[in-house]
Amino acid sequence: MSGPSCGNLYAALPEVGSAAELFTTLLDLPGVRVERIVSTGQASPPGFWYDQTEHEWVVVICGAAVLVLEGEPAPRRLGPGDYLHIPPHCRHRVEWTDPTQATIWIAVFAAGLPA
């Protein structure tokens, strides 16, 4: 087992307008993974839906985003402090992230129930 690790959620942020989102794994243990995601105006491609086998719990640390969950009547706008649990196979997409500032998300992925 390795020792403690530490870092800073605001370190090494990409510039606003960067072409790609930045995904950084902060913790990876059996059954659970924690990532920092930095979006600078990115969104899911048209027609694309995430359909994951894991639970995903996300919280927006700064910035803003709009998520669409399949079957819900309206998109969800998330701002600083807002969090959302997305169960396995709940199809969802990122409709919008703030193009004027970094949107920093923390995503916790946990193994879903066996099929």
Asked if residue 62 lies in contact with residue 31, where contact means CB atoms within 8 angstroms, the answer is no
Give dist(CA 103, CA 97) in Å, integer.
7
Has domain 34-110 been given CATH number 2.60.120.10?
yes
Sketch the domain layout of the chain as residue ranges.
Answer: 34-110
HSE (side-chain half, CA atoms, 13 Å) at 92: 25
The helix (run of H) or strand (run of E) holding residue 93 is strand 92-97
User: What is the full per-residue pLDDT of the chain (115 aa) written as tens digits?
Assistant: 578 889 999 998 888 878 889 999 999 999 999 999 999 999 999 999 999 999 999 999 999 999 999 999 999 999 999 999 999 999 999 999 999 999 999 999 999 766 5
Would you state the pLDDT for residue 87?
Answer: 96
Would you state the pLDDT for residue 98?
Answer: 96
- Positive or negative CA dihedral for 89, 58, 66, 94? negative
